[in-house]
Amino acid sequence: MRQGDNVRNGVPKELIGTLLYVTLMLMIGVVALYGADILVSTTYHVELSFVKKQLMWIALGLIGFLIAALIDFQIHCKLVWRVYLPVTVMALSAVFFFPPIGDAHRWIDLKLFTIQPSEFAKIVILILLARYIEHAKDKMISFFRGLVIPLSIVAPIILLTAIEPDLSTSILMGAVVLLLLYVAGVRIWHILALIGGAGLAAPFAVQFGLLKPYQLGRLKSFVDLLTGGHAFQQELGQIALASGGFFGSGLGLGTVKRYVPIKESDFLFSVFGEEFGVVGVLLVFVLLLGLINNLFKVANKHVKSIFGRFYIYGFGVLIAVQALMNIGVNVGLLPPTGMPLPFMSYGGSSMVATLTGLGVVVSIVLGDSRG
């Protein structure tokens, strides 16, 4: 690890900046949920159910963060094949033995709370790929070693997620995998050929009923929006964003949010935009870009191991793509996906998994500095 102005008391300034960005995003997320909890009528009605639960999820996530940060990152390398991969596959398989929620088998119901294994599977995929790239770094230009083998390794996780069904999360996983493999040296035409083949196979997925009715409905509403028709969820999200103006209506004073669906998670960005306006939206963009930029900087400047560097690259790509998918839905550029905004949207499994994944980043950076 390089010493000098970029390091303070053994901790890189980029890592301190990363943690600061995440802290601010967590705070903004709680504030946005507070606004979503307030229903404006003739008087204030403050339920705070989302805020209270989110604070609990953040607390649990911070425990996961501390545990992951204190574990030597080399342990992940040793456990990824023997423990992480089989446990993840078993957890994703276990969801089919629990009653569906909203026609989907995505959760393990533990009575007191539910767990969504696919959220933790995202982090496991990053560890798997980083470990593979570490061993095959000089062979990534090969179609077989660079694309076929790593895709075969993560395929069980992505396929089990897709058949829950959770199409959006499986697409997110696939996008992150391909982007990380490209960064590792896979030839772009190999990736484009794969994407082209998947595109040609898509009509068969529809024909043979691999897409559920609600998924087709989401795609239809998106096409309707693009062709001048009406997409109920996204139109309400856009109206909420537009009604915020430059400075917003003020915390808790939004009115359109009452009609916005899933305002605590999928459309929290729209609710925040209504109440904090363009200024609030720009702040979210600045924090996201700052976080992603710092992740790449800390990987490039302060991480020597190939495993560590590519895990952090992958974590940054995951945050970026997931944020783009969420915001894209809110502004009408993508069909509804159910994708939470990282570190901000309401959701227990997503918050705990993402903070734990951030803890692995800290473990890698500090581990390399000690080594």
- Does residue 361 contact residue 71 with C-beta atoms inside 8 Å? no
Instruction: Give 267's contacts (C-beta < 8 A, 6+ positions apart).
Output: 233, 236, 237, 240, 260, 261, 329, 330
Secondary structure (3-state) at 258: helix
* Positions in the chain short of pLDDT 50: 1-3, 40-44, 370
- At residue 43, the pLDDT reads 44
- At residue 231, the pLDDT reads 61
- Residue 240 CA to residue 258 CA, distance in Å, equals 10
Core vs surface per residue 78-101: b (16+ CB within 10 A) or e? eebeeebbeebbebbeebeeeeee
- Does residue 95 contact residue 138 with C-beta atoms inside 8 Å? no
Instruction: Give 152's contacts (C-beta < 8 A, 6+ positions apart).
Output: none
- At residue 124, the pLDDT reads 96
Evaluate if pTM is beyond 0.85: yes
Strand partners, 40: 44
What are the φ and ψ backbone dihedral angles of 254, each rounded to 5 degrees? -70, 145
- Residue 370 CA to residue 217 CA, distance in Å, equals 53
- At residue 9, the pLDDT reads 64
Secondary structure (3-state) at 359: helix
- Residue 277 CA to residue 242 CA, distance in Å, equals 8
Q: Domain locations in the chain?
A: 7-370
- At residue 307, the pLDDT reads 95
- Alpha helix segments (H runs only) across 38-116: 49-70, 73-79, 85-94
Rg from Cα positions in the chain:
21
Cα diameter, the chain: 66
Tell me: cis bond preceding 203? Omega within 30 of 0 counts: no
- At residue 335, the pLDDT reads 79
Q: Report the interhelical angle of 213-226 vs 232-243 (nearest 10°).
A: 50
- At residue 254, the pLDDT reads 83
Question: Which residue, among 356, 68, 295, 176, has the nearest Cα to 303 in the 3D structure?
Answer: 295
